[in-house]
Structure 1
Amino acid sequence: MRRTLQQYLLFTLRSIAFWVLAFGFFIIIRYFGVFEEKGVSILPKYELPILDLLTYVAISSVPFGIFYAAIEFLFDRYLAKSLALGVVVFTKTFIYLVTLIILVSSVVEYTGYMLDVSLNDDGGWWRTNKTFWSIVIFFVVASLVFSFIKIANEKFGRGIFIKMLLGKYRKPKEEKRIFMFLDLKASTTIAEQLGHYTYSQLIQDCFYDLNMITRKFDAEIYQYVGDEAVLSWKYTHGIKRNNALQLYFNFQERIASRSNYYQEKYNLIPEFKAGIHGGTLMVTEVGTIKKELAYHGDVINTTARIQSVCNKYNASVLISEVLLKDMKLPETFDTKKIDDLLLKGKATTINIYDVSKIV
């Protein structure tokens, strides 16, 4: 709950900053130099207090930014999964339009007060007012920009999109990261029991639960491959508070908390196995039609191999010794060393540990 609140507050601050800049930019391009334009009929003795107006708009943008963040967070967290995308977009747009009418009406009244002129004659002035609809168009474009940035950050990971815009990954870069390969146990058997359609719904539900906790543990979703999810952390973020391990057990706890739902809908409670490993590898942009970040190196292959032997040792989560040494596990965790393994495709052995959580 605490991490969820932190995420919401951070998103709210970003929303406020964006809308203060967006509306401030609109006021500047709309009113800066307005008295030098031909056809402006305001009396010369009235000068538009541009700095006062910018200050007022900035202050007005704060509650709007808070409101915008609340709506986005509410829809993303509780309604987006159950409603069609078109319904979500229409509903949010309607809410924002009503809010915008109220906000712009307030700004117009304030500007009229400052100029000592009447800028609106009736309560429905906005229906035929060209300035208002220009604001609406600007708002729609700005909202799309905000959504685009938000989606891009979710796609590539926090901060990665900006780095891609700046061309940081045009050439391969070396990074130290942690990876987790997370796979559904007995997936083939479950798919045969449920059928393809119901099985796909199961995977949707499982990955939805996974997405609800990824930010809590500073994780990034690298990719989904069938019923497998590949997660990644910056190395320091993954070992901090043992995030790379804690995420797995928290994910299992979340599924357990919804066991009644899974049991009633699918007649089973899904279980996942995971392999975790970390180290240095290369990251770069690949593709031109479908551009994305790709990680190349032994870390990826080793993590996949570790996860592949979970069934052999009847283990739920296996972690490499080199990564385990960098973590500081509390006494609530129990570790058991598995014999040195010569993983397929490897020339040297690697030490792997089975990790469990003491109830």
Structure 2
Amino acid sequence: MYLQSKIRAQLFLVIGVTLFWMASGAFMAFYKCVNYIPASDEFIFVVPNQLSFGSFLLINIIGPAVGGFIGGSILIFRLSENLRKRSYWYYVFVNFWFFLGFILVLNTIIPYWFYYREEIHSANDPLAMALDLLILDPYALRNIVTWLVIAWITVQGLNIYEKYAPTTLISLFLGRYHRPHEVSRIFMFLDLSDSTTIAERLGHIHFFDLLKDFFSDMTDPILDTQGEIYQYIGDEIVVSWPVRRSVLKHMQPLECFFRIEKSVQNKEAYYLEKYGLLPKFKAAFHSGEVVVGEIGVIKREIVYSGDILNTTSRMMEQCKVYKQKLIISNELLEKLPENELDKYCLAELGEMGLRGKTKKMILYGIS
């Protein structure tokens, strides 16, 4: 069964949240069993509720597994989507109350079912006993506060994940960007055509809404072709791909451009109704060696640096000169399989010098 790339990415996040909560539950199981005895100044290992450690560990994993999957699904598929346009503090406020209620329910049902069911039923006042054991007991309160902290870490982790591409985030954690190093990348610079005229016509606020819709419609095509969004620069987006066999074999950069074009065309009625126009855009592709590393002190970013980026930007200027919606460099064209190029129409634009460069390049228009 085919799932949209965005949904696949969201399911991946839900699984990640579930595994994180399960690991947290397992850690807490060990933590709860370790007790300090002041009289003898020593730590002892005692499993609560007269259970075997295996049973206690399993209970502390099952609950977070269910909670992580349900809570993560609601957070990622509903709350994050619906609150994306709201302020950060509103987003935090709603998430806090959601997780507070969600964790209260979990920390009531699970201890009741596995630990205190018989004790509560046999009490003279079951309701008072349940309230005392499941909510007001210091052990229960500590459990709720601990899981609220875990929920907060989860939300902040998802915010960080949205800022960086998954592969970039993994590399960041592994410290690969601490020292600058060279990588081979393919870059696509894509920007909205006639953006100045459109902005004057729509006004800055409405134009910004157009950009948000425009960039949003690129999400699935970029994910489908394994692209990574590097930067948003005004009305321009920069996407990159590693130069590896699978990327070149399946023509993923070129496929990305035409899938974006199709995605926007499929929303034609929406754009015409809301903005009175269908966005048109142009793009340029180039590849080569760039240096990548972490830069900045107050605000840190992962930055690519090299002549390739400047060249691709200059190439995009030629789209307007030669009335092309897509331009590709000869350097990248030579890396692509010839049998896959047959379905595209190539137009050699000749050898030309680009602004700010002494070495001339051969560029091609593609349709």
Q: How would you bin the TM-score normalised by the shorter chain?
A: 0.7 to 0.9
Q: CA deviation at 1:229?
A: 1.3
Equivalent residues of 2:6, 2:219 under 8 A apart = no
Shift in alpha-carbon separation, 1:203–1:5, aligned structure 2, 3 A: closer
2:319 paired residue among 296, 300, 310: 310
Q: Using the alignment, how far apart are the partners of 1:78 and 1:152 within structure 2?
A: 16
Pairs within 5 Å for 1:124-203: 124-125=131-132, 126-203=134-211
Query: What SS does the corresponding residue of 1:169 show, helix, strand or coil?
Result: coil
Pairs within 5 Å for 1:279-358: 279-328=288-337, 329=340, 331-356=342-367
Identity %: 27
Q: CA deviation at 1:168?
A: 2.3
Shift in alpha-carbon separation, 1:350–1:25, aligned structure 2, 3 A: same
Q: Is 1:263 aligned to residue 272 of structure 2?
A: yes
TM-score relative to the length of structure 1: 0.86
Shift in alpha-carbon separation, 1:265–1:44, aligned structure 2, 3 A: closer
Q: Using the alignment, how far apart are the partners of 2:348 and 2:169 within structure 1?
A: 39
- AA partner of residue 55 (structure 1): L
- AA partner of residue 171 (structure 1): R
Query: What SS does the corresponding residue of 1:289 show, helix, strand or coil?
Result: coil
Shift in alpha-carbon separation, 1:189–1:230, aligned structure 2, 3 A: same
Q: CA deviation at 1:182?
A: 1.1
* 2:43 corresponding residue in structure 1: none
Q: Is 1:102 aligned to residue 105 of structure 2?
A: yes
Q: Using the alignment, how far apart are the partners of 2:47 and 2:295 within structure 1?
A: 59
Name the Cα RMSD after superposition.
Answer: 3.0
Q: Using the alignment, how far apart are the partners of 1:289 and 1:44 within structure 2?
A: 47
1:219 paired residue among 224, 227, 231: 227
Gap runs ≥5 in structure 1: none
Q: Is 1:33 aligned to residue 44 of structure 2?
A: no
TM-score relative to the length of structure 2: 0.84
Q: CA deviation at 1:312?
A: 0.7
* 2:42 corresponding residue in structure 1: none
Equivalent residues of 2:5, 2:220 under 8 A apart = no
Q: CA deviation at 1:82?
A: 5.1
Q: CA deviation at 1:22?
A: 1.4
Of 236-245 and 317-326, more deviation after overlay is shown by 236-245
Shift in alpha-carbon separation, 1:135–1:240, aligned structure 2, 3 A: farther
* 2:25 corresponding residue in structure 1: 23
Pairs within 5 Å for 1:11-90: 11-29=13-31, 31-34=32-35, 47-75=50-78, 78-81=81-84, 83-90=86-93
Residue-pair matches, total? 350
